[in-house]
Amino acid sequence: FAGYISQVLKNYTDHACDGEYVSLRCPHRTTISIQSSFYGRIVPSHQLCPSRYPHSYATLIKEDVACSVGTSLQKMLDECQDRRSCQFLVNSRLFGMDPCPGTGKYLLVWYKCRPNEYKSKVACEDDKLRLSCKKSMVIAIYSAIFGRTQGGSLECPYQNLGMPMTECQSATALQLMIKRCHGKRSCSIYASTYEFGDPCYPGIQKHLNVIYTCDNTPLLLPVDETQPPALSSSSSSSMEPVGVSTEMALLSNILAAYAFITENPERAALYFVSGVCIGLVLTLLALVLRVSCRTD
């Protein structure tokens, strides 16, 4: 589960030179989300994707290091967006007109892996945002934005108070949301500058937009009771007293019971009432037997 979440949260970068295949792939239950793309050349060939032409021919052509096309992002969206994997051959014909003939080019792609099933919640500035998942599921934050986006938010309409409609976002919103909510069943946070800082000009209304998914909690591995417990060198030299381990086991059982009761109050009440009824029946039987024996 931890490995799956780390793959989802990771920002991927891939590149391929002209004549090579670019291959993007995401883990199970996620799809590709293209963040940015570049096709052209902005660094010399000896640093990235050296020229395939003979050295004598390459020296006759002056290499263009300010070469790019504006259709690379749209092409990557068409080829790979919302797919689990994609692969294609990189060449100038794929992106339309060649911006710099004779210069070897390359493709750079930045993407993330978005869960197939995800939720989105928005809280206006100074409002409380609450995230929650069902039983046996925990929160996995995919993205978080605190500030003002160019398109704004339908839930938090922008009120023109003479401020310019500029885009501004907190650089620490994602890290803070992961710290507060990652791996928990529920969490809450205020969409305030006290929590996230103020990335915008004073007076600009902001909002918090969080995209997250709920995933199953990791299960504990079963213990093989047929194998003797392995003792490390440190544990063999300093063994814990039996009383301490017994107290820790008792404390663990108490915590487990408390967690079960808080998550299943109806079932716990049913078990309690059933236990009381069974106890009363057994007590009544014992009394009847005792009275019968005295009478005999």
CA–CA dist 170, 199 (Å, integer): 5
165 contacts 133 by C-beta, under 8 angstroms: no
Task: Give the per-residue pLDDT at 151.
Answer: 63
**3-state SS assignment for residue 268:** helix
In a shared domain, residues 90 and 169: no
In a shared domain, residues 170 and 201: yes
In a shared domain, residues 103 and 10: yes
CA–CA dist 14, 183 (Å, integer): 29
Whether 211 is covered by a domain: the verdict is yes
**3-state SS assignment for residue 177:** helix
Task: Give the per-residue pLDDT at 245.
Answer: 42
Task: Give the per-residue pLDDT at 225.
Answer: 32
Helices and strands per DSSP (H, E), number in the chain: 8, 12
Q: How many CA atoms lie within 13 A of 100 on its CB side?
A: 18
- Rg of the chain taking only CA atoms, in angstroms: 31
Enter the DSSP assignment of 136: T
Task: Give the per-residue pLDDT at 241.
Answer: 38
Q: How many CA atoms lie within 13 A of 56 on its CB side?
A: 0
Whether 158 is covered by a domain: the verdict is yes
CA–CA dist 17, 238 (Å, integer): 58
pLDDT means over runs of 10, the chain (296 residues):
54 88 84 89 84 54 80 90 90 85 88 80 90 85 82 67 70 87 88 88 84 64 35 37 44 54 66 85 89 80
Domain of 32 in residue numbering reads as 1-53+61-115
In a shared domain, residues 178 and 132: yes
In a shared domain, residues 87 and 138: no
Whether 101 is covered by a domain: the verdict is yes
In a shared domain, residues 185 and 104: no
Task: Give the per-residue pLDDT at 217.
Answer: 52
CATH of the domain at 27: 2.60.120.740
Fill in the amino acid letter for 41: R
128 contacts 22 by C-beta, under 8 angstroms: no
- One-character DSSP codes across 212-248: EEEEEPPPPPPP-TTSPPP--HHHHHSPPPHHHHHHH
Indicate the number of domains in the chain.
2
Task: Give the per-residue pLDDT at 248.
Answer: 46
Helices (H), 61-203: 72-80, 173-181, 193-196
In a shared domain, residues 17 and 90: yes
CA–CA dist 40, 108 (Å, integer): 9
117 contacts 213 by C-beta, under 8 angstroms: yes
Whether 222 is covered by a domain: the verdict is no
pTM value surpassing 0.85? no
Of 215, 248, 281, the domain-final residue = 215
Whether 157 is covered by a domain: the verdict is yes
